[in-house]
Structure 1
Amino acid sequence: MSALQLTRPLAVIDLETTGTNVATDRIIEIAVIKVMPDRSVQRKVKRINPQMPIPAASTAIHGIRDEDVADAPTWKQAANEFRQFLEQCDIAGYNSNRFDIPMLVEEFLRVGLTFDVKDRRFVDVQKIFHLMEKRTLSAAYKFYCDKDLTNAHSAEADAVATFEILEAQLERYATQLKADVDALAQFTKEDEYVDFARRIVRQNGTEIFNFGKYKGRAVRDVLKSEPQYYDWMMKAEFPLNTKEKLTEIYHDMMLKKP
Protein backbone atom coordinates (compact mmCIF):
# COMPACT_ATOMS: atom_id res chain seq x y z
CA MET A 1 0.00 0.00 0.00
CA SER A 2 1.30 3.45 -0.91
CA ALA A 3 0.64 5.28 2.35
CA LEU A 4 0.93 9.04 1.90
CA GLN A 5 4.30 10.32 3.03
CA LEU A 6 4.00 13.52 5.03
CA THR A 7 6.83 15.83 6.01
CA ARG A 8 4.44 18.32 7.58
CA PRO A 9 0.71 18.33 8.43
CA LEU A 10 -1.78 17.93 5.61
CA ALA A 11 -5.04 19.80 6.25
CA VAL A 12 -7.95 18.28 4.34
CA ILE A 13 -10.61 20.97 4.12
CA ASP A 14 -14.22 21.18 3.04
CA LEU A 15 -16.53 24.17 3.07
CA GLU A 16 -20.29 24.47 2.88
CA THR A 17 -21.33 27.93 1.72
CA THR A 18 -24.26 30.15 0.85
CA GLY A 19 -23.36 29.75 -2.83
CA THR A 20 -20.48 29.49 -5.26
CA ASN A 21 -19.61 33.15 -5.87
CA VAL A 22 -16.32 33.75 -4.06
CA ALA A 23 -16.84 37.52 -4.08
CA THR A 24 -20.31 37.56 -2.52
CA ASP A 25 -21.05 34.23 -0.83
CA ARG A 26 -20.00 33.14 2.65
CA ILE A 27 -18.91 30.08 4.61
CA ILE A 28 -21.59 28.41 6.73
CA GLU A 29 -19.66 25.29 7.74
CA ILE A 30 -15.98 24.44 7.72
CA ALA A 31 -14.25 21.16 8.48
CA VAL A 32 -10.50 20.67 8.69
CA ILE A 33 -9.10 17.18 9.13
CA LYS A 34 -5.41 17.69 9.95
CA VAL A 35 -3.33 14.58 9.30
CA MET A 36 0.03 14.75 11.04
CA PRO A 37 3.28 13.16 9.76
CA ASP A 38 2.93 10.47 12.46
CA ARG A 39 -0.59 9.72 11.07
CA SER A 40 -2.38 11.11 14.12
CA VAL A 41 -5.42 13.18 13.22
CA GLN A 42 -6.73 16.45 14.59
CA ARG A 43 -10.19 17.75 13.65
CA LYS A 44 -11.80 21.15 13.75
CA VAL A 45 -15.40 21.48 12.56
CA LYS A 46 -17.61 24.52 13.00
CA ARG A 47 -20.86 25.98 11.77
CA ILE A 48 -20.61 29.68 10.89
CA ASN A 49 -23.27 32.40 10.88
CA PRO A 50 -22.83 33.94 7.39
CA GLN A 51 -24.75 37.09 8.37
CA MET A 52 -26.82 36.75 5.23
CA PRO A 53 -29.76 34.54 4.22
CA ILE A 54 -28.93 31.06 2.99
CA PRO A 55 -30.60 30.57 -0.42
CA ALA A 56 -33.04 27.68 -0.68
CA ALA A 57 -31.04 26.24 -3.57
CA SER A 58 -27.97 25.98 -1.32
CA THR A 59 -29.96 24.50 1.57
CA ALA A 60 -31.24 21.85 -0.86
CA ILE A 61 -27.62 20.74 -1.35
CA HIS A 62 -26.18 20.76 2.17
CA GLY A 63 -29.33 20.88 4.33
CA ILE A 64 -28.18 23.85 6.43
CA ARG A 65 -30.87 26.46 7.09
CA ASP A 66 -30.76 29.98 8.51
CA GLU A 67 -32.02 28.76 11.89
CA ASP A 68 -29.25 26.15 12.04
CA VAL A 69 -26.57 28.84 12.13
CA ALA A 70 -28.46 31.65 13.88
CA ASP A 71 -26.51 31.12 17.14
CA ALA A 72 -23.24 30.10 15.48
CA PRO A 73 -20.17 32.36 15.62
CA THR A 74 -19.50 34.70 12.73
CA TRP A 75 -16.43 34.13 10.57
CA LYS A 76 -14.83 37.18 12.18
CA GLN A 77 -15.11 35.40 15.53
CA ALA A 78 -13.83 32.05 14.24
CA ALA A 79 -11.28 33.09 11.62
CA ASN A 80 -8.17 33.40 13.78
CA GLU A 81 -8.81 29.98 15.36
CA PHE A 82 -8.79 28.35 11.92
CA ARG A 83 -5.88 30.46 10.71
CA GLN A 84 -3.77 29.19 13.60
CA PHE A 85 -4.98 25.60 13.10
CA LEU A 86 -3.86 25.74 9.46
CA GLU A 87 -0.42 27.18 10.19
CA GLN A 88 2.43 25.29 8.48
CA CYS A 89 -0.03 22.91 6.79
CA ASP A 90 -0.19 21.82 3.21
CA ILE A 91 -3.81 21.74 2.06
CA ALA A 92 -5.88 19.11 0.29
CA GLY A 93 -9.51 19.04 -0.71
CA TYR A 94 -11.98 18.09 -3.38
CA ASN A 95 -12.13 20.85 -6.02
CA SER A 96 -10.24 22.87 -3.42
CA ASN A 97 -7.91 24.65 -5.85
CA ARG A 98 -10.85 26.22 -7.63
CA PHE A 99 -13.29 26.75 -4.77
CA ASP A 100 -12.44 25.98 -1.14
CA ILE A 101 -9.02 27.66 -1.04
CA PRO A 102 -10.10 30.80 -2.97
CA MET A 103 -13.20 31.08 -0.73
CA LEU A 104 -11.12 30.63 2.44
CA VAL A 105 -8.54 33.22 1.38
CA GLU A 106 -11.35 35.65 0.51
CA GLU A 107 -13.05 35.17 3.88
CA PHE A 108 -9.79 35.82 5.72
CA LEU A 109 -9.27 39.01 3.72
CA ARG A 110 -12.81 40.18 4.54
CA VAL A 111 -11.99 40.19 8.25
CA GLY A 112 -8.57 41.79 7.78
CA LEU A 113 -6.45 38.66 8.10
CA THR A 114 -3.89 37.46 5.60
CA PHE A 115 -3.59 33.76 4.87
CA ASP A 116 -0.12 33.18 3.53
CA VAL A 117 -0.15 30.65 0.69
CA LYS A 118 3.55 30.91 -0.07
CA ASP A 119 5.43 27.65 0.38
CA ARG A 120 2.20 25.71 0.90
CA ARG A 121 1.44 22.81 -1.37
CA PHE A 122 -2.11 22.24 -2.60
CA VAL A 123 -3.38 18.79 -3.50
CA ASP A 124 -6.71 18.71 -5.30
CA VAL A 125 -8.15 15.20 -5.01
CA GLN A 126 -10.79 15.97 -7.65
CA LYS A 127 -8.03 16.84 -10.10
CA ILE A 128 -6.35 13.48 -9.51
CA PHE A 129 -9.70 11.76 -10.01
CA HIS A 130 -10.41 13.64 -13.24
CA LEU A 131 -6.90 13.17 -14.57
CA MET A 132 -6.82 9.46 -13.80
CA GLU A 133 -10.42 8.41 -14.46
CA LYS A 134 -11.92 11.44 -16.02
CA ARG A 135 -16.44 12.57 -12.21
CA THR A 136 -18.76 13.88 -7.95
CA LEU A 137 -17.28 13.14 -4.59
CA SER A 138 -19.86 10.40 -4.03
CA ALA A 139 -18.89 8.73 -7.32
CA ALA A 140 -15.20 8.96 -6.45
CA TYR A 141 -15.86 7.44 -3.02
CA LYS A 142 -17.74 4.54 -4.58
CA PHE A 143 -15.15 4.06 -7.31
CA TYR A 144 -12.03 4.16 -5.14
CA CYS A 145 -13.27 2.99 -1.73
CA ASP A 146 -16.30 0.89 -2.78
CA LYS A 147 -18.37 2.71 -0.17
CA ASP A 148 -21.54 4.75 -0.35
CA LEU A 149 -21.06 8.29 0.95
CA THR A 150 -23.60 8.93 3.66
CA ASN A 151 -24.19 12.48 4.87
CA ALA A 152 -22.85 13.89 1.60
CA HIS A 153 -22.47 17.67 1.83
CA SER A 154 -21.82 17.45 5.53
CA ALA A 155 -18.45 19.18 5.60
CA GLU A 156 -16.88 16.67 8.00
CA ALA A 157 -18.15 13.59 6.12
CA ASP A 158 -16.94 15.05 2.83
CA ALA A 159 -13.49 15.89 4.22
CA VAL A 160 -13.08 12.40 5.73
CA ALA A 161 -14.19 10.78 2.47
CA THR A 162 -11.77 12.99 0.53
CA PHE A 163 -8.78 11.77 2.54
CA GLU A 164 -9.89 8.13 2.17
CA ILE A 165 -10.14 8.66 -1.60
CA LEU A 166 -6.65 10.19 -1.69
CA GLU A 167 -5.18 7.17 0.08
CA ALA A 168 -7.06 4.78 -2.24
CA GLN A 169 -5.81 6.71 -5.28
CA LEU A 170 -2.22 6.29 -4.11
CA GLU A 171 -2.74 2.55 -3.76
CA ARG A 172 -4.45 2.19 -7.13
CA TYR A 173 -1.89 4.30 -8.99
CA ALA A 174 1.16 3.22 -7.00
CA THR A 175 3.32 2.96 -10.11
CA GLN A 176 2.14 6.29 -11.52
CA LEU A 177 1.80 8.56 -8.49
CA LYS A 178 4.49 9.27 -5.94
CA ALA A 179 3.11 9.16 -2.40
CA ASP A 180 4.30 12.54 -1.17
CA VAL A 181 2.61 15.91 -1.05
CA ASP A 182 5.13 17.73 -3.23
CA ALA A 183 4.68 15.28 -6.12
CA LEU A 184 0.89 15.35 -5.76
CA ALA A 185 0.83 19.14 -5.65
CA GLN A 186 2.85 19.23 -8.87
CA PHE A 187 0.59 16.61 -10.48
CA THR A 188 -2.61 18.54 -9.69
CA LYS A 189 -1.14 21.97 -10.38
CA GLU A 190 -3.19 24.16 -12.69
CA ASP A 191 -2.04 26.75 -15.19
CA GLU A 192 -0.11 29.50 -13.44
CA TYR A 193 -2.49 32.10 -12.07
CA VAL A 194 -2.01 35.34 -10.16
CA ASP A 195 -5.30 35.48 -8.22
CA PHE A 196 -7.39 32.56 -7.03
CA ALA A 197 -10.38 33.58 -9.14
CA ARG A 198 -8.10 33.31 -12.19
CA ARG A 199 -9.06 36.72 -13.49
CA ILE A 200 -5.32 37.28 -13.99
CA VAL A 201 -2.95 34.55 -15.18
CA ARG A 202 0.78 34.55 -15.81
CA GLN A 203 2.23 33.64 -19.19
CA ASN A 204 6.01 33.68 -19.70
CA GLY A 205 6.37 35.82 -16.59
CA THR A 206 3.80 38.41 -17.72
CA GLU A 207 0.47 39.03 -15.95
CA ILE A 208 -2.39 38.67 -18.44
CA PHE A 209 -6.09 39.47 -18.07
CA ASN A 210 -8.11 36.25 -18.33
CA PHE A 211 -11.61 37.74 -18.74
CA GLY A 212 -13.62 40.47 -20.40
CA LYS A 213 -12.77 42.79 -23.24
CA TYR A 214 -9.05 42.76 -22.43
CA LYS A 215 -8.71 38.98 -22.17
CA GLY A 216 -5.29 37.97 -23.45
CA ARG A 217 -3.75 41.43 -22.98
CA ALA A 218 -0.97 42.25 -20.54
CA VAL A 219 -2.35 43.83 -17.35
CA ARG A 220 0.37 46.48 -17.26
CA ASP A 221 -0.28 47.51 -20.87
CA VAL A 222 -4.00 47.94 -20.15
CA LEU A 223 -3.39 49.92 -16.96
CA LYS A 224 -0.92 52.20 -18.75
CA SER A 225 -3.27 52.94 -21.66
CA GLU A 226 -6.50 52.97 -19.62
CA PRO A 227 -5.74 53.70 -15.95
CA GLN A 228 -9.48 54.11 -15.31
CA TYR A 229 -9.81 50.34 -15.78
CA TYR A 230 -8.03 49.88 -12.46
CA ASP A 231 -10.58 52.14 -10.75
CA TRP A 232 -13.45 50.25 -12.38
CA MET A 233 -12.15 46.88 -11.19
CA MET A 234 -11.58 48.16 -7.67
CA LYS A 235 -15.18 49.41 -7.46
CA ALA A 236 -16.75 46.40 -9.18
CA GLU A 237 -17.76 43.14 -7.51
CA PHE A 238 -14.49 41.24 -7.92
CA PRO A 239 -13.02 39.08 -5.14
CA LEU A 240 -10.81 40.93 -2.66
CA ASN A 241 -7.93 38.64 -3.57
CA THR A 242 -8.22 39.74 -7.22
CA LYS A 243 -8.23 43.40 -6.19
CA GLU A 244 -5.26 42.81 -3.89
CA LYS A 245 -3.17 41.26 -6.69
CA LEU A 246 -4.25 43.93 -9.19
CA THR A 247 -3.17 46.62 -6.72
CA GLU A 248 0.22 44.93 -6.26
CA ILE A 249 0.75 45.01 -10.03
CA TYR A 250 -0.45 48.62 -10.27
CA HIS A 251 1.80 49.84 -7.43
CA ASP A 252 4.80 47.97 -8.83
CA MET A 253 4.13 49.55 -12.23
CA MET A 254 3.88 53.05 -10.71
CA LEU A 255 7.12 52.59 -8.77
CA LYS A 256 8.96 51.70 -11.99
CA LYS A 257 7.46 54.62 -13.88
CA PRO A 258 10.19 56.96 -15.14
Structure 2
Amino acid sequence: MSWHSRRLAAFDIETTGVDPESDRIVTAAVALVGDGRPTESFAWLVDPGVEIPAGATAVHGITTAQARAEGRHPAAAVEAITALLAAQLRAGVPVIAFNARFDLTTLDREARRHGVTPLVDRVGGAQGLLVVDPFVLDKQYDRYRRGKRTLGAVCEHYAIPLLDAHDADADALAAARVAYRLATRLPELRETELRALHAQQVGWAAEQAASLEEYFREQGRAERIERAWPVVPEPLPAVALAA
Protein backbone atom coordinates (compact mmCIF):
# COMPACT_ATOMS: atom_id res chain seq x y z
CA MET A 1 0.00 0.00 0.00
CA SER A 2 1.31 3.44 -0.94
CA TRP A 3 2.19 5.89 1.84
CA HIS A 4 -0.66 8.23 0.85
CA SER A 5 -3.28 5.59 1.62
CA ARG A 6 -1.91 4.86 5.09
CA ARG A 7 -2.24 6.90 8.29
CA LEU A 8 -1.09 10.53 8.01
CA ALA A 9 -0.59 13.16 10.72
CA ALA A 10 -1.61 16.50 9.24
CA PHE A 11 -0.21 19.49 11.14
CA ASP A 12 -0.72 23.25 10.97
CA ILE A 13 -0.19 26.31 13.16
CA GLU A 14 -1.28 29.94 13.15
CA THR A 15 1.07 32.43 14.76
CA THR A 16 1.77 35.97 15.89
CA GLY A 17 3.84 36.62 12.76
CA VAL A 18 6.03 35.11 10.05
CA ASP A 19 9.43 34.77 11.77
CA PRO A 20 9.88 31.28 13.24
CA GLU A 21 12.78 32.49 15.37
CA SER A 22 10.72 35.00 17.34
CA ASP A 23 7.00 34.60 16.65
CA ARG A 24 4.69 32.47 18.76
CA ILE A 25 2.02 29.83 18.22
CA VAL A 26 -1.56 31.03 18.66
CA THR A 27 -3.49 28.02 17.35
CA ALA A 28 -2.39 24.55 16.31
CA ALA A 29 -4.03 21.42 14.97
CA VAL A 30 -3.10 17.81 14.30
CA ALA A 31 -5.49 15.62 12.32
CA LEU A 32 -4.81 11.89 12.08
CA VAL A 33 -6.37 10.79 8.80
CA GLY A 34 -6.48 7.90 6.34
CA ASP A 35 -5.78 4.18 6.53
CA GLY A 36 -9.51 3.46 6.49
CA ARG A 37 -9.91 4.68 10.06
CA PRO A 38 -11.93 7.59 11.48
CA THR A 39 -10.24 10.96 11.57
CA GLU A 40 -8.92 12.02 14.98
CA SER A 41 -8.65 15.78 15.39
CA PHE A 42 -6.69 17.66 18.06
CA ALA A 43 -6.73 21.45 18.35
CA TRP A 44 -5.13 23.99 20.65
CA LEU A 45 -5.75 27.66 21.37
CA VAL A 46 -2.61 29.06 22.97
CA ASP A 47 -1.90 32.15 25.03
CA PRO A 48 1.38 33.11 23.34
CA GLY A 49 2.45 35.28 26.26
CA VAL A 50 2.86 38.32 24.01
CA GLU A 51 0.55 40.71 22.22
CA ILE A 52 -0.95 39.34 19.02
CA PRO A 53 -0.45 42.01 16.34
CA ALA A 54 -3.55 43.32 14.60
CA GLY A 55 -2.20 42.04 11.28
CA ALA A 56 -2.00 38.51 12.62
CA THR A 57 -5.48 38.74 14.14
CA ALA A 58 -6.79 39.86 10.74
CA VAL A 59 -5.45 36.59 9.30
CA HIS A 60 -6.54 34.00 11.88
CA GLY A 61 -9.14 35.89 13.91
CA ILE A 62 -7.66 35.39 17.38
CA THR A 63 -7.21 38.48 19.54
CA THR A 64 -4.84 38.94 22.45
CA ALA A 65 -7.81 39.14 24.82
CA GLN A 66 -9.29 35.88 23.57
CA ALA A 67 -5.96 34.07 23.74
CA ARG A 68 -5.36 35.24 27.30
CA ALA A 69 -8.87 34.31 28.44
CA GLU A 70 -9.22 30.95 26.69
CA GLY A 71 -5.75 29.84 25.60
CA ARG A 72 -3.57 27.19 27.19
CA HIS A 73 -0.22 28.04 28.68
CA PRO A 74 2.30 27.83 25.82
CA ALA A 75 4.58 25.32 27.54
CA ALA A 76 1.69 22.91 28.13
CA ALA A 77 0.38 23.32 24.58
CA VAL A 78 3.81 22.89 22.97
CA GLU A 79 4.45 19.79 25.10
CA ALA A 80 1.14 18.26 24.00
CA ILE A 81 1.66 19.07 20.31
CA THR A 82 5.26 17.84 20.29
CA ALA A 83 4.44 14.64 22.18
CA LEU A 84 1.62 13.78 19.78
CA LEU A 85 3.73 14.35 16.67
CA ALA A 86 6.66 12.41 18.16
CA ALA A 87 4.41 9.44 18.93
CA GLN A 88 3.18 9.39 15.34
CA LEU A 89 6.69 9.61 13.91
CA ARG A 90 7.94 6.80 16.13
CA ALA A 91 5.04 4.70 14.79
CA GLY A 92 6.11 5.42 11.21
CA VAL A 93 3.30 7.89 10.52
CA PRO A 94 4.54 10.89 8.49
CA VAL A 95 3.78 14.48 9.39
CA ILE A 96 2.02 16.31 6.55
CA ALA A 97 2.60 20.06 6.72
CA PHE A 98 2.27 22.71 4.03
CA ASN A 99 5.46 24.78 4.13
CA ALA A 100 6.77 22.50 6.86
CA ARG A 101 9.93 24.57 7.26
CA PHE A 102 7.90 27.33 8.92
CA ASP A 103 5.56 25.20 11.05
CA LEU A 104 8.14 22.74 12.35
CA THR A 105 10.84 25.35 12.93
CA THR A 106 8.39 27.52 14.86
CA LEU A 107 7.38 24.51 16.97
CA ASP A 108 11.06 23.73 17.58
CA ARG A 109 11.82 27.26 18.77
CA GLU A 110 8.72 27.34 20.97
CA ALA A 111 9.83 24.09 22.58
CA ARG A 112 13.30 25.45 23.32
CA ARG A 113 11.84 28.74 24.56
CA HIS A 114 9.64 26.96 27.11
CA GLY A 115 12.00 24.19 28.22
CA VAL A 116 10.15 21.47 26.30
CA THR A 117 12.10 18.65 24.66
CA PRO A 118 12.04 19.48 20.92
CA LEU A 119 10.55 17.11 18.36
CA VAL A 120 13.92 16.43 16.75
CA ASP A 121 15.36 15.26 20.06
CA ARG A 122 12.38 12.97 20.75
CA VAL A 123 12.80 11.01 17.52
CA GLY A 124 16.55 10.47 17.61
CA GLY A 125 17.67 13.47 15.61
CA ALA A 126 16.92 14.77 12.12
CA GLN A 127 17.08 11.23 10.74
CA GLY A 128 14.00 10.39 12.80
CA LEU A 129 11.86 12.99 11.06
CA LEU A 130 9.43 11.80 8.39
CA VAL A 131 7.72 14.73 6.70
CA VAL A 132 5.67 15.24 3.53
CA ASP A 133 5.38 18.87 2.44
CA PRO A 134 2.81 19.52 -0.32
CA PHE A 135 4.33 22.98 -0.83
CA VAL A 136 7.69 21.46 -1.79
CA LEU A 137 6.08 18.67 -3.82
CA ASP A 138 3.85 21.02 -5.80
CA LYS A 139 6.78 23.26 -6.68
CA GLN A 140 8.86 20.23 -7.69
CA TYR A 141 6.31 18.50 -9.90
CA ASP A 142 4.71 21.62 -11.42
CA ARG A 143 7.60 24.03 -11.23
CA TYR A 144 6.69 26.25 -14.17
CA ARG A 145 3.09 26.99 -13.18
CA ARG A 146 2.52 30.71 -12.78
CA GLY A 147 0.73 32.26 -9.85
CA LYS A 148 0.78 32.04 -6.09
CA ARG A 149 1.74 28.90 -4.16
CA THR A 150 -0.18 29.66 -0.98
CA LEU A 151 -2.25 26.85 0.49
CA GLY A 152 -5.41 28.54 -0.76
CA ALA A 153 -4.06 28.91 -4.29
CA VAL A 154 -2.77 25.34 -4.38
CA CYS A 155 -6.09 23.99 -3.10
CA GLU A 156 -7.91 25.95 -5.80
CA HIS A 157 -5.57 24.57 -8.47
CA TYR A 158 -6.20 20.97 -7.38
CA ALA A 159 -9.96 21.53 -6.82
CA ILE A 160 -9.70 20.89 -3.07
CA PRO A 161 -12.21 22.76 -0.90
CA LEU A 162 -10.78 25.08 1.77
CA LEU A 163 -13.70 26.83 3.44
CA ASP A 164 -11.94 28.14 6.57
CA ALA A 165 -8.50 29.24 5.42
CA HIS A 166 -6.16 30.08 8.31
CA ASP A 167 -8.13 27.90 10.69
CA ALA A 168 -5.40 25.49 11.78
CA ASP A 169 -7.62 22.39 11.65
CA ALA A 170 -8.97 23.26 8.20
CA ASP A 171 -5.49 24.04 6.87
CA ALA A 172 -4.05 20.80 8.27
CA LEU A 173 -6.75 18.73 6.57
CA ALA A 174 -6.31 20.66 3.34
CA ALA A 175 -2.56 19.95 3.36
CA ALA A 176 -3.27 16.22 3.73
CA ARG A 177 -5.73 16.37 0.85
CA VAL A 178 -3.22 18.12 -1.40
CA ALA A 179 -0.61 15.48 -0.60
CA TYR A 180 -3.14 12.74 -1.33
CA ARG A 181 -4.21 14.38 -4.61
CA LEU A 182 -0.62 14.75 -5.77
CA ALA A 183 0.14 11.12 -4.97
CA THR A 184 -2.93 9.85 -6.82
CA ARG A 185 -1.89 11.83 -9.91
CA LEU A 186 1.82 11.05 -9.88
CA PRO A 187 2.89 7.37 -9.90
CA GLU A 188 6.52 8.28 -9.21
CA LEU A 189 5.43 10.11 -6.07
CA ARG A 190 3.14 7.48 -4.60
CA GLU A 191 5.60 4.69 -5.41
CA THR A 192 8.48 6.36 -3.57
CA GLU A 193 9.19 4.95 -0.12
CA LEU A 194 8.62 7.53 2.63
CA ARG A 195 12.20 7.71 3.88
CA ALA A 196 13.42 8.21 0.33
CA LEU A 197 10.74 10.84 -0.28
CA HIS A 198 11.76 12.73 2.85
CA ALA A 199 15.38 12.75 1.68
CA GLN A 200 14.35 13.93 -1.79
CA GLN A 201 12.41 16.84 -0.30
CA VAL A 202 15.49 17.94 1.66
CA GLY A 203 17.27 18.38 -1.67
CA TRP A 204 14.30 19.83 -3.53
CA ALA A 205 13.62 22.42 -0.83
CA ALA A 206 17.25 23.55 -0.97
CA GLU A 207 17.15 23.78 -4.76
CA GLN A 208 13.90 25.76 -4.67
CA ALA A 209 15.34 28.18 -2.14
CA ALA A 210 18.48 28.68 -4.22
CA SER A 211 16.37 29.29 -7.33
CA LEU A 212 14.25 31.89 -5.56
CA GLU A 213 17.35 33.57 -4.18
CA GLU A 214 18.82 33.76 -7.68
CA TYR A 215 15.57 35.27 -8.98
CA PHE A 216 15.67 37.91 -6.26
CA ARG A 217 19.29 38.66 -7.10
CA GLU A 218 18.32 39.27 -10.73
CA GLN A 219 15.71 41.73 -9.44
CA GLY A 220 18.34 43.59 -7.42
CA ARG A 221 17.20 42.14 -4.08
CA ALA A 222 19.99 40.76 -1.87
CA GLU A 223 17.77 38.43 0.18
CA ARG A 224 18.99 35.11 1.53
CA ILE A 225 16.44 32.28 1.34
CA GLU A 226 16.70 29.53 3.93
CA ARG A 227 17.70 26.19 2.41
CA ALA A 228 17.33 23.86 5.42
CA TRP A 229 14.19 21.71 5.57
CA PRO A 230 12.04 20.65 7.42
CA VAL A 231 13.53 22.12 10.62
CA VAL A 232 16.02 24.95 10.39
CA PRO A 233 18.94 24.28 12.78
CA GLU A 234 18.98 26.53 15.80
CA PRO A 235 21.25 29.54 15.21
CA LEU A 236 24.58 29.48 16.99
CA PRO A 237 24.80 31.97 19.86
CA ALA A 238 26.55 35.21 19.09
CA VAL A 239 30.13 35.32 20.29
CA ALA A 240 31.40 38.62 21.66
CA LEU A 241 34.67 39.70 20.08
CA ALA A 242 37.43 41.10 22.26
CA ALA A 243 38.09 44.79 21.75
Q: Is the TM value for this pair above 0.5?
A: yes
- Does structure 1 retain, via aligned residues, the 8 Å contact 2:136–2:205? no
What residue ranges of structure 1 are gaps of 5+ in the alignment? 194-210, 213-238, 248-258
The one-letter amino acid paired with 1:91 is V
1:220-231 correspondence to structure 2 within 5 Å: none
Aligned equivalent of 1:56: 54
Report how many residues are paired. 199
- Does structure 2 retain, via aligned residues, the 8 Å contact 1:31–1:46? yes
The answer to whether 1:42 aligns with 2:46 is: no
In the TM superposition, what whole-angstrom CA distance separates every residue of 1:143-166 from its partner, at most 9, and x where no partner exists?
A: 22x134211011000000110111
Give the whole-Å Cα distance in 2 for the aligned partners of 1:163 and 1:85: 17
Aligned equivalent of 2:86: 87
Q: 1:107 aligns with which of 89, 99, 110?
A: 110
Q: Which has the higher strand share?
A: 1
Aligned equivalent of 2:234: 241
Q: Which has the higher helix share?
A: 2
Give the whole-Å Cα distance in 1 for the aligned partners of 2:95 and 2:78: 17
- Does structure 1 retain, via aligned residues, the 8 Å contact 2:183–2:190? yes
Aligned equivalent of 2:141: 132
Aligned equivalent of 2:217: none
Identical aligned pairs, as a percentage?
Answer: 28
In the TM superposition, what whole-angstrom CA distance separates every residue of 1:161-220 from its partner, at most 9, and x where no partner exists?
A: 110111100011124542543233123224799xxxxxxxxxxxxxxxxx99xxxxxxxx
Give the whole-Å Cα distance in 2 for the aligned partners of 1:136 and 1:26: 21
Give the whole-Å Cα distance in 1 for the aligned partners of 2:83 and 2:2: 30
- Does structure 2 retain, via aligned residues, the 8 Å contact 1:53–1:66? yes
What residue ranges of structure 2 are gaps of 5+ in the alignment? 144-148, 207-222, 225-231
Aligned equivalent of 1:4: 4
Task: State the shift of 1:38 in Å.
Answer: 5.7
The one-letter amino acid paired with 1:24 is S
Give the whole-Å Cα distance in 2 for the aligned partners of 1:176 and 1:54: 39
Partner SS, residue 51 of structure 2: coil
Give the whole-Å Cα distance in 2 for the aligned partners of 1:174 and 1:94: 21
Give the whole-Å Cα distance in 1 for the aligned partners of 2:162 and 2:119: 33
Give the whole-Å Cα distance in 2 for the aligned partners of 1:160 and 1:81: 19
- Does structure 2 retain, via aligned residues, the 8 Å contact 1:121–1:182? yes
- Does structure 2 retain, via aligned residues, the 8 Å contact 1:4–1:180? no
Aligned equivalent of 1:77: 76
Partner SS, residue 68 of structure 2: coil
Give the whole-Å Cα distance in 1 for the aligned partners of 2:236 and 2:185: 41
- Does structure 2 retain, via aligned residues, the 8 Å contact 1:106–1:240? no
Give the whole-Å Cα distance in 2 for the aligned partners of 1:2 and 1:191: 21
Task: State the shift of 1:83 in Å.
Answer: 2.5
